Structure formats: C-alpha cells, structure tokens
Amino acid sequence: MPTSLLSQLKQMTTVVADTGDLDAIRRFRPEDATTNPSLILQAAQQEDRRERLARIARDSRDINAAVDRVAVDIGSEISALVPGYVSTEVSARLSFDSDATVARAHSLIERYQQAGVGAERILIKIAATWEGIQAATRLEREGIHTNLTLLFGFTQARACADAGTTLISPFVGRILDWHKAQDPQADFSGHHDPGVISVKGIYNYFKAHNYPTIVMGASFRNSDEIKSLAGCDRLTISPKLLDELENEHGTLTRQLDGAPATAEKAAEAPLDQSTFRWQMNEDAMAGEKLGEGIRKFMADQRQLEALLEKLSRQR
C-alpha cells in the first residue's frame, strides 16, 4: 500500500501540530506542538473545559495569571501527548517590553515545573520585535528555549540567529496573503509562492553559515506550500492540512536537504537596533504583517480574558 504524504514528510521533516486540539494531536502523533493566543482561545471554548477554566479563573489573583494558567494547563496536557517541545506564547501585550517578556517567561516556566513539565520541554514563544529578540537573548543565556514567532522577513531571521534563539517560525501563508492583496492577478502557485521563497532563503542562509537555530515553517494556506518545503527542519501544520496530507498518496520529493552549503558571502555583522528598525521599515510586508499579527493575537487574548472574567463570576 502506498504511504501517505504525511508519512513521507515525517521521514524528512519534524512534523509539529499547530493546534490545541488534543484529539487531533492523538490522531496525527506529531513530534512537537505549538499554540498561540488564537489556538488557546479555541481550546478554551470547548464545553468539556468550562468547569476547569472557571475554577482557574476564580482561583487566580488577576486576569494575567488566569490567562497564563490556562495556557500552561492546556500545554501540560499536550506535553503528555508529544515527545518533544510544546510552544507557549508570552502575551502579545508585552511585544515591545523586554523586561516584562523575560519576567512572564520565567512565570510560565515556573508554572510548567509546578505541573511536572520540565523547562527543557518548553519553547517560550515571543513576537520577533526588536524587544522580543532582546528578551530571547537573555532567556537563552539562562537556558530557557525560545521560539520567535510572527516572523515575516529576513531581517527578523538574521537578528534571531545572532541572538541564539532555539527556533524561529517564519510565516508562509500570511506572506502570501500580503502579496495577493498587492497583486491579485499574479501567479503565486507552487515555487512562485513568496512565503515559500522566504523560508527557503532563510533556511539556506542558516545552513550556509552554520547557525544552529531551528527553522520551522508556519502559517500554511494550502498543502502545496508544505510540499514545497519538505525537508525543512520543522513544519508546524494545522489539523486540516495534516488530514489532507494523510489522505494523499504519491511521491513526496525533498526540497530542502539540510546539507551544509557553501555560503555565497560571509555572514553579515549582527544588527544593531537602529539598523533593524530601518530595515523593517523598508520591508513594507514584514512591518505591516508583524504589527497586524500582534494586534490579531491580542484581540484573541482579549476574548479569552473576557471569557475567563465571565466564568469567574459563575458559581
């Protein structure tokens, strides 16, 4: 019987579930799992969680503590189902505050340890702003692993690699969304997909310059994007697309081989703050999508906060 594309993908790429749905994680058996405020909100709205969430909300000292406790509660359940990392996000509200991000990361790690999940299993997920990257530098020096998310441009990727982050999550689908809005008639299929092109460029640069930072493609709009990145270090994939790959058969061709490449030029010097901000300003897509992503995650967090506030008043 021919093997599914998902089975073949798992032979060349570490497959990560982009969900808080425990049933989906059990079904697809990924190595790691990622969450974000949107996915935590979806998981929190499941009826079978309501009573436990209400108890968390009533017992927490404030709404920030309640949100973190919910994220760790769901993340702890996920950690029992995957052998590798679980990514848990620091509040998007802290995206421009390095000190507060570091403090919240410490709190999340402490909560996980209290739940019996070691720090080595957790990736603290942080928006790839300048302040977020500086926070990641400090956390990595302390032995706390980080996942820099909402990453849309090469400038962000370079800064993350220089910071020594454990992993980056360059977004594919949201890059495609931006380019489609700019040029609706263009052909962005297959290898013309600008999100795919971006991740391939980052991946090849990292391998050529021996950066140990893991490249994990994220935010896919269709399975063709995933096929075009087969062989990437990691790919975090929604249950819907995991299902498509599981039910599709044929031959999946490796697109990224991971072999050390010969760099076309020497690695550039680490970016300082002013250069980072200027380059982000020059990259309209990356700058716009970063700001939009932070706003969207914060909107979903506010919905979660409102849900927890409501549940806290129920008896």
The set of catalytic residues is 125
Record the tokens describing residue 205, joined without a space.
């640069």
Residue 312 one-letter amino acid = S
Residue 254 is classified by DSSP as P
Q: List all residues 6 or more positions away from 178 whose beta carbon is below 8 Å from its beta carbon.
A: 285, 288, 289
Cα–Cα distance, 41 to 108 (Å, whole number): 17
Record the tokens describing residue 64, joined without a space.
């920030």
Cα–Cα distance, 86 to 32 (Å, whole number): 6
Q: Whats the size of the chain, residue-wise?
A: 315
Cα–Cα distance, 136 to 174 (Å, whole number): 23
DSSP letters for 167-223: EEEEBSHHHHHHHHHH-TTS---GGG-HHHHHHHHHHHHHHHTT--PEEEEB--SSH
Q: List all residues 6 or more positions away from 69 whose beta carbon is below 8 Å from its beta carbon.
A: 56, 60, 111
* Helical pair 63-79 and 37-44, crossing angle rounded to 10 deg: 80
Tally Cβ neighbours within 10 Å of residue 5: 21
Number of Cα atoms under 13 Å in the Cβ half of residue 242:
23
Record the tokens describing residue 294, joined without a space.
């932070």
Radius of gyration of the chain (CA): 19
Q: Which residues pair with 168 in a beta bridge?
A: 148, 215
